[in-house]
Amino acid sequence: MKPILVPLLVVLVQSCIVRTTPISEEADNVFLERYALSSTPNIVEADGYPFENYYVTTGDGYILNIHRIPFGLSGKKNNKVAYLQHGLLQSSSDWILNGPGKALAYILADEGYDVWMGNARGNTYSRNHSVFDPNTDSRFWQFSWHDIGVVDVPTMIDFVLEKTGADGVYYAGHSQGTTVYFVMTSMKPEYNSKIKAQVSLAPIAYMSHLTSPLLRIVAFWQKPAVFLLDLIGMDEFLPGHGFMSMLSSKICTEGIGSLLCSNVLFALCGFSPKQMNTTKIPLIMANTPAGSSTKQIIHYGQEISSGKFRQYDFGMIENRKKYGSIWPPAYDLGKVTAPTYLIYSKNDWLAATRDVEQLYKELGSPKAKFLVSDHMFNHLDFTFGKDAPKLVYSKVISLFSRHN
């Protein structure tokens, strides 16, 4: 069989093949017009919460935008600082789009937390650099989530600690927001003491059992062929028409399915109709995908193929120069010694239960793991799901409150 047919076959086999009705361009424009101005600062203000905006420049020149909700509407203050880190192709908006009383950032603020939301390099809010222009300079995009873990997150946490005078943060991460936590605390173990407690939502480290058909395609070409890069973008991850139509005709269902699948985030992660609040779709579409480098995607593809949780694979020759060995070094999860909790779900296309269980076993100080009781709960339901407050966020609050 021709190699190209294999991943396509995977797509066909793994999906219920239902023809898609393409959304009309007109409908697209209506959404864009209505929500073009929506962004984390605007939405937080519209929701009536206090909002503060900060910039911090990393040692390697990336200008990162941090969003803060210093307190909630209840007026309660518990002198604790929460730090929230978003997932791949997402942004700080992950933590607010579910709305007052339903989104994690608002719930934490109402519980008395001072809430800070990081934005990783390359996303909508952190698409800036002191030297490189992201629009014209390929050098801006030469990073993967490794760099977000060893540079961006530590820089943002130090900034937050300096501004607040706190001695540690309560960290909640979703998806890539958990990967970068494991990278940070294993590569820079001194950061463990700056974490009071960490809750990983849909944790991602090992990925060999993942079911996302689209990511399997990327994984197949782990040594990125020009063909693949052409489809998904050489520097910035910008899936072109070819890539999107390849998947939209295969993995998307009628109605909301086809609409959501026009968004690469949902195409990668899937969705569960029961958890999706259809009224919110335009707002979610306006805020995602929020941007990432192609290397972030390729690095995940490497995890899928290798079955390992390790640094970026530049190829044997470059690896030898960079790491002193032909294979990239693995992240030592035993060095993750801050109190860490994992919340995962059965229908998660990215964080497969077997992979999460392996991660849990290898962590230096795992406290507990919880499987979400709704077995249809999916990867993105951790941020957008109707039942996320009940099934997930109430747990986050109670786990944080165990630590002082």
Binding piece for ligand NAG, criterion CB under 6 A, among 203-211, 272-280, 352-360, 362-370:
272-280
- Output the DSSP codes for 121-163: TTSTTS--BSS--TTT-GGGG---HHHIIIIIHHHHHHHHHHH
Q: Please identify which residue in 61, 70, 99, 282 interacts with ligand NAG, judged by CB under 6 A.
A: 99
Q: Is 103 exposed, middle or buried (0-12, 13-18, 19+ CB in 10 A)?
A: buried
Q: Please identify which residue in 279, 317, 321, 404 interacts with ligand NAG, judged by CB under 6 A.
A: 279
Nearer to ligand NAG, 96 or 184 (CB): 96
Of 138, 88, 143, 146, nearest to 382 by C-alpha is 88
Q: Is residue 39 close enough to count as binding ligand NAG by CB under 6 A?
A: no
Q: Is residue 277 close enough to count as binding ligand NAG by CB under 6 A?
A: yes
Nearer to ligand NAG, 208 or 277 (CB): 277
Q: Is 379 a catalytic residue?
A: yes
Asked whether the CA dihedral 149, 154, 160, 166 is positive or negative, the reply is: positive
Q: Is 230 a catalytic residue?
A: no
Q: Is residue 77 close enough to count as binding ligand NAG by CB under 6 A?
A: no
What is the chain's Cα-based Rg? 20
Q: Could you tell me how far CA 181 lies from the centroid of its own chain?
A: 11
Tell me 192's DSSP state. G
Q: Is residue 135 close enough to count as binding ligand NAG by CB under 6 A?
A: no
Say if residues 203 and 174 touch (Cβ distance below 8 Å): no
Gap between the Cα atoms of 50 and 349, Å rounded: 35
Please report, as residue ranges, which positions from 2 to 21 form the binding site for ligand NAG (by CB under 6 A): none
Binding piece for ligand NAG, criterion CB under 6 A, among 20-28, 150-158, 275-283, 369-377:
275-283
Which of 39, 91, 126, 175 is labelled catalytic? 175
Q: Please identify which residue in 92, 128, 186, 212 interacts with ligand NAG, judged by CB under 6 A.
A: 128
* Binding footprint of ligand NAG on the chain (CB under 6 A): 63, 99, 102, 128, 277, 279-280, 386
Q: Which residues are catalytic?
A: 175, 348, 379
